[in-house]
Amino acid sequence: MTTIVDLPEDPKYTIKTVSIQTGVRPITLRAWERRYSLLSPFRSDNRYRLYSERDIAILRWIKNRLDGGLSISSAVREFNDFRKKETWPEATPLLQPGSNLHQAKPPAFFASQLTKTLLRHDETTAMTLLGEAHASFDLTTICLEIIVP
């Protein structure tokens, strides 16, 4: 199988494309760049971020580790350990069809379900719903479009 280091580094993918291909929202990508220095995308003349196939593979690998239960800081630390040892991990395959961001539930769905759940005093389900919402939306959306209504 191909390792991440074997993939091309030429920048050509926009943040939207990367988000669709990896399942990681743009706001999260920007936060990871800032907090963990995970990627340093190329900036075009108009200052848009452009990512390479290698960048996408790194994000898929990190996302796979997160889906497996690791925290982002642990996954980044593990990835950086690979980098330091110059033993890059294998590239993670593409997401399964149907798992992209366009099929996520809208905030109104979460607001409705959360209201019903809280009226039943079902804290466990409420926590699960808020966890799903947190994985799909930024804090402003969660507060203003899910919790407040």
pLDDT tens track for 46-105: 888 999 999 999 999 999 889 888 899 999 999 999 888 888 787 765 544 334 444 467
Same domain, 70 and 116: no
CA atoms within 13 A on the CB side of 141: 15
**Full domain range(s) for residue 26:** 4-85
Same domain, 79 and 115: no
Say if 64 falls within a structural domain: yes
Same-domain status, 49 and 109: no
pLDDT at residue 99 in the model: 41
Sequence-distant (6+) residues with CB within 8 A of 38 are 32, 58, 59, 62, 76, 79
Length of the chain: 149
Task: Output 56 or 139, whichever has higher pLDDT.
Answer: 56
Of 118, 104, 103, nearest to 149 (Cα)?
118
| pTM value > 0.85 | no
Q: How confident is the model at residue 5 (pLDDT cuts 50, 70, 90)?
A: confident
Both 78 and 108 in a single domain? no
Q: Are residues 14 and 64 in the same domain?
A: yes
Which residue from 49, 14, 11, 54 is spatially nearest to 33, judged by alpha carbons?
A: 49
Say what the pLDDT of residue 102 is: 40
Report pLDDT digits (tens) over 7-56. 888 888 888 888 888 889 999 999 999 999 888 899 988 888 999 999 99
One domain for residues 72 and 120: no
Q: In this structure, is residue 98 part of a structural domain? A: no
CA distance 111 to 53: 37
Same domain flag for 65 and 10: yes
- The rounded distance, in Å, linking the Cα atoms of 54 and 46 is 22
Taking each helix axis from N to C end, the angle separating 53-67 and 15-22, rounded to the nearest 10 degrees, works out to 40
